[in-house]
Structure 1
Amino acid sequence: MRNAGPPGSSGEGRTEVLRIPAFRLFWTATTIRGFGSAIANVAFQVLIVTVVAATPAQIGILNALGVAPYLFLGFIIGALMDRWNRQRTLVLTSIGRAVVFALIPVLLLLGHLDFWSLAAIMLTLGVLTLFAQSAEQPFVPQIVPRSSLVSANARLGQSETVAGTAGPAAGGALLTLVGAPLIFVFEAVIHAVSAVLQSRIRVTESAPAPRRAGRHIGHDIVEGMRFTYRHKTLRPLALSVHVWFLGNSIVATVFAVFALRELGMPAWAYGIAVAVGGVGGFLGAIIAPAVGERIGAGRAILVGRSLTVVPWLLLAVVPLSSATTMTVLLVIVSIAQFLFGLAMGVEDANDISYRQAIAPDAIQGRMNATIRTTNRIVFFFGALGAGVLVTWLGYAASLGVAAAVFAVAALVIVFSPLRNARHGEAGV
């Protein structure tokens, strides 16, 4: 897939991305959808527990259905995104999600929402989300000058962080005020508006070159893997982020239980700590472009990876327990969350932007799918192993293992050419 490129892609300086009409529409659609999804997630949890009355095993199945499409379809859909119109894919998936969300209040009012219907909804949303996310990352370089990719991804990261922080609180309030059916009506409207905004983006996408005789989608997938894992800087970037996801699978499984059960933090204190993490992520996304421009993409990613070690090592070595005063617990856990959010804010914008800029448009979908799908496979099995790890070592030691894994992710960059990579090199 080729296109003429967005205005400014021929090498002009970095611009304020929200002044670019195409990106402004894309950012607005993504932002309102992010807030809506954060609100809907709260309503989903309430439905699962109160309406469906799901057992722990059923809750695990419902959560797994959101990830399952990546495991089975991630590579295939990534290859399709290098041959399909990405804008059309975004519009159709937004319409599809609007229809699915509109179906939920109908099922609620008719009394037909049960485990199996909710499982079908979760699986359908998972597939639609996979298509949308597979189209989004390759689409951004088509509407933003490559010199402004870091700024664009930082803007998207800021919106995502604010939505993830404020959305759940808004969801809880709306759930109390209007109830679950109207929340899902609201969510359907948001996705319909998102589809309209995405359809108004002006971008030129030309058809990809036809496959040579004897080639099929399997060859496309392998070509994407070869490009990713043979590239001198993409290979260490991919390997580093895979290792990072292994560490993240441990902390995502362990942290909430450690804070709420082992340390005895009340829900309000845990919520404050998580919100402080959102503040750190927002700040990291704000400074990410300046950090990347000043020290280079590779070192900016390395700073983020290295900083990720600190919060989990802190929680592993500081002697915390349910007997620790609440003030100390809240301060230590909040500091850890702030540092973790800050690290992700700095590294994400530089990581994603470097990937988008270094890869030719014709292979963007497959390169992103190779990295994203492998990340989720690692996370899936890492989360399963984390339960065994906690049983064997306990909570604090398991967080120490996660810190060690994050350190390995940083070391992959230290001992690779990625360390010296800069935005603007090799077509970046």
Structure 2
Amino acid sequence: MNNDVLPSAPVPLGRAREVLRHPSFALFWSATTIRTFGGAIAGVAFQVLIVTTVHATPMQISILNALGVAPYLVLGFIVGALMDRWRRQRTLVLTTVGRAVTLAVVPVLLLTGALNFWSLGAVILVLGVLTLFSDSAAQPLLPRIVPRGSLVMANARLGQSGTVAQTAGPPLGGVLLNLIGAPLLFVFEAAVNVVAAVLQARIKVKEPKPEPRPPGRYVGHDIIEGMQYTYRHRTLRPLALSVHVWFLGNSIVTTVFAVYALRELALPAWAFGVALAAGGVGGFIGAMIAPRAGSWLGAGRSILLGRILVVIPWLTLALTPLAQSSTAIALTVVVAAQFLYCLAMGTEDTNEISYRQSVVPDGIQGRMNATIRTVNRIVFFFGALLTGLMLTFFGYHLTIGIGAGVFFLAALIIVFSPLRNARQEDTVT
């Protein structure tokens, strides 16, 4: 397949500048930020409802958590193909309105006593589907809102506010839940999404008229074309393979971290919270330095730097016998590990997403993103299941060490590929 024959209407490169001065991006950023805050707050409320109102069993809790990911596994490729033929801004607005309506159903279920495992499962599943459509529309829409030369700065700003939201949102959600109760909290969440939808609708962006699918061509053809483009591309192929391997390592360490810290190290809950907060600080700083790193090192080396840095904290935890140390020492090492782990992610994630957006033609952005993101989630899903077996047979330290080794493999893929020398200035191919 010739990568050059695909339709493309990229935004001109332009000079990188403070993107929040760009009115359309300011609206996009504002809507995304308040939605992320709302999602973090709602996440706490859902967890409380699952345990205290629905009284879900451990198996039911697993099912409810899986429902949030299931739409990506089942519909991810299809939705990505649709995003290359639908109006992305319209999709973004409609899905945000749909989230508002769905969240508004929760207080009705609570007040009528109809909230149970099945009704809550339906709400979580619908939100998962809407989030899939929303995320699939947002990523390919961004290159039409800002010049390609400003994509790193734009994704950095989104990463910074997202990190703050994910760090501050859960404790804020806990406070609001105690102050106003679950019904009013979900009314508030619905209102947040209405505001976000209004902001999204005000974005001024030029989108080409969607082209109808030619006779005899089906969505499956679009999906295959997107996968072929991604895995045959000179630099996207190693990028995709590296991030897939990275997600495998991430599924291992994130699955084991909480139980390792709370059970093996016997850290108190407040100390575990401090470690997570340190990760939030690291992610914020990483997103702040990402544009400068991309400018100095280039996209490929910035991504590689993040891949290498992420090995260090997990290798340290694997090799250090913290269970024999004092709580203060264990907490210090765990906090430092979380800080460096999230710092690495903040640095490379911004440059990785921006590079993908900058080198791919508009006509296949949706499918490229869907291909990478869907495979990532499939890998994460099965990696998390595999981690349970590894913990059973190998224990904490060897399992964490395997995770560090997988991260190192993700870095090696970049070292021995053309991606290592890639820059954001690369032309769309």
TM-score using structure 2 length:
0.97
Aligned equivalent of 1:215: 217
Tell me the secondary structure at the aligned position of residue 396 of structure 1. Answer: helix
Aligned equivalent of 1:375: 376
Aligned equivalent of 1:334: 335
Aligned equivalent of 2:72: 70
Aligned equivalent of 1:325: 326
| CA distance in structure 1 between the aligned counterparts of 2:411 and 2:122, rounded to whole angstroms | 39
Partner letter of residue 364 of structure 2? I
Aligned equivalent of 1:263: 265
Report the alpha carbon displacement of residue 231 of structure 1 after superposing the two structures with TM. 0.2
| CA distance in structure 2 between the aligned counterparts of 1:210 and 1:111, rounded to whole angstroms | 46
Tell me the secondary structure at the aligned position of residue 426 of structure 1. Answer: coil
Report the alpha carbon displacement of residue 22 of structure 1 after superposing the two structures with TM. 0.6
Report the alpha carbon displacement of residue 11 of structure 1 after superposing the two structures with TM. 3.3
Tell me the secondary structure at the aligned position of residue 381 of structure 2. Answer: helix
Say if 1:3 and 1:204, in contact at 8 Å, map to a contact too. Answer: no
Counting matched residue pairs gives 424
1:415 and 2:421 equivalent?
A: no
Aligned equivalent of 1:236: 238
1:386 and 2:387 equivalent?
A: yes
Tell me the secondary structure at the aligned position of residue 111 of structure 1. Answer: coil
1:349 and 2:350 equivalent?
A: yes
Within a 5 Å distance, the mapping from 1:36-185 to structure 2 comes to 36-185=38-187
| CA distance in structure 1 between the aligned counterparts of 2:180 and 2:215, rounded to whole angstroms | 58
How far does the alpha carbon of each residue in 1:36-80 deviate from its partner, in whole angstroms, 9 at most, with x for none?
A: 111111111100000000000000000000000011100000000
Would the alpha carbon gap of residues 4 and 419 (structure 1) be closer, same or farther in structure 2, given more than 3 Å must change?
A: closer
Aligned equivalent of 2:3: none
Report the alpha carbon displacement of residue 212 of structure 1 after superposing the two structures with TM. 3.1
Aligned equivalent of 1:315: 317
| CA distance in structure 2 between the aligned counterparts of 1:86 and 1:11, rounded to whole angstroms | 21
Tell me the secondary structure at the aligned position of residue 278 of structure 2. Answer: helix
Report the alpha carbon displacement of residue 4 of structure 1 after superposing the two structures with TM. 6.4
| CA distance in structure 2 between the aligned counterparts of 1:214 and 1:3, rounded to whole angstroms | 23
| CA distance in structure 1 between the aligned counterparts of 2:197 and 2:13, rounded to whole angstroms | 31
Partner letter of residue 86 of structure 1? R
The one of 19, 23, 26 equivalent to 2:25 is 23
CA RMSD of aligned residues (A): 1.2
Would the alpha carbon gap of residues 3 and 363 (structure 1) be closer, same or farther in structure 2, given more than 3 Å must change?
A: closer
Partner letter of residue 421 of structure 1? A
| CA distance in structure 1 between the aligned counterparts of 2:41 and 2:210, rounded to whole angstroms | 38
Which shifted more, 172-181 or 352-361?
172-181
Report the alpha carbon displacement of residue 176 of structure 1 after superposing the two structures with TM. 1.3
| CA distance in structure 2 between the aligned counterparts of 1:153 and 1:10, rounded to whole angstroms | 17
Aligned equivalent of 2:190: 188
Say if 1:288 and 1:347, in contact at 8 Å, map to a contact too. Answer: yes
| CA distance in structure 2 between the aligned counterparts of 1:156 and 1:415, rounded to whole angstroms | 30
TM-score using structure 1 length:
0.97
Say if 1:2 and 1:206, in contact at 8 Å, map to a contact too. Answer: no
Aligned equivalent of 2:300: 298
| CA distance in structure 2 between the aligned counterparts of 1:408 and 1:214, rounded to whole angstroms | 42
Report the alpha carbon displacement of residue 324 of structure 1 after superposing the two structures with TM. 2.3
How far does the alpha carbon of each residue in 1:349-395 deviate from its partner, in whole angstroms, 9 at most, with x for none?
A: 00000000110000000000000000000001100100001001001
| CA distance in structure 2 between the aligned counterparts of 1:262 and 1:97, rounded to whole angstroms | 39
How far does the alpha carbon of each residue in 1:332-365 deviate from its partner, in whole angstroms, 9 at most, with x for none?
A: 0000000001000000100000000110000000
Report the alpha carbon displacement of residue 3 of structure 1 after superposing the two structures with TM. 8.5
| CA distance in structure 2 between the aligned counterparts of 1:4 and 1:41, rounded to whole angstroms | 38
Say if 2:85 and 2:212, in contact at 8 Å, map to a contact too. Answer: no
| CA distance in structure 2 between the aligned counterparts of 1:107 and 1:12, rounded to whole angstroms | 50
| CA distance in structure 2 between the aligned counterparts of 1:75 and 1:207, rounded to whole angstroms | 22
Report the alpha carbon displacement of residue 221 of structure 1 after superposing the two structures with TM. 0.3
Please, which runs of 5 or more residues in structure 2 have no aligned partner? 1-5
Aligned equivalent of 2:367: 366
Report the alpha carbon displacement of residue 173 of structure 1 after superposing the two structures with TM. 1.1
Say if 1:90 and 1:136, in contact at 8 Å, map to a contact too. Answer: yes
Identical counterparts, % of pairs: 67
Please, which runs of 5 or more residues in structure 1 have no aligned partner? none
